[in-house]
Structure 1
Amino acid sequence: MASSAFDHSAVNALNLDSRRAHMNAFFMHLGLWDSAKVAKTREKCVEMFCQLLDQRGHTSVNQEYFEYQVDALIWYNILKRGKVLTEATKWPWSETTPEIVDSTTEASPVYREWLSRKSEVNGDGDRVPTPPRQVVLSDELEMLDPEVGRRIFCRL
């Protein structure tokens, strides 16, 4: 299988640059690399994951956790759409998951900005709903809910 050409264990899964470089190389190896499609998939996965976090009531999450989970979503969706998602090509770092809240690391600015767009704070502190940035999705995305371990299908 194609994944045998890559030693996923040699990658520090918690290092954003290392993980993403490996993902790009793996997508290229499988003939799935298209920077525009990966960027669009990333945008959709960020939106979907922010919605899930918000539904779960999270007001802040660790940046490392946020980016790790978005990368896992991208991996899954790119491989699934490329029809090469198998047991051998599944997310290789599921045993290495950062903590959702870690006071020693910074909170995700992406999620914080998403929440800010979603709701504004009045002078008296009341939250007034406003819609987040609109992302038009033509395809259904799928993800594994990290908290309950089941698949979620979203059409945003």
Structure 2
Amino acid sequence: MLPIDEIRGVDDVSRRPGHEGFRPVAPWPNARIPPASQPGRPSVPVRTRAGKPMTPVFGTSSPLRGVSGMIRRWAYTFPEHRARRWLLLILADRVEATGPRLRRLAPLAVPLLFATFAAFRPRARMGRVRVSMLHLPRDSGSRLATGR
């Protein structure tokens, strides 16, 4: 087998359209070498995948927070080939999507919640009215209807 340097043909360096402007691979003159490392911890959990390290993501464009963030962190504890991981990530997306819906309904839900508690508060032994007295109108109506 021929070495790669001796192989010519379609990939001949002299036949490439940008051969005259070809520049060897090297860092730009004004680049800092090595690049400065980012301070702090990554905002997304870092895990290795199939023996290759993942690139840590630094930033707060969409940090993990709330219930959906807890579900995502839990999902990242499972390997990528498990369905459990992907189902938990889908669940986290659904939980995150319901947040704005609940916030939109909050102005309506809070007064309804207070009205429900006010209407169904316990009435036993309040003042002089007893629970047995509350059933009298209902019981007397049924007695009249049956004729007893």
Could you state the TM-score of these two structures normalised by the residue count of structure 2?
A: 0.20
Q: Higher Cα Rg: structure 1 or 2?
A: 2
Between structures 1 and 2, the one with greater strand share = 1
Could you state the TM-score of these two structures normalised by the residue count of structure 1?
A: 0.20
Report 1 or 2 for greater relative contact order, CA contacts < 8 Å, sequence distance ≥ 6.
1
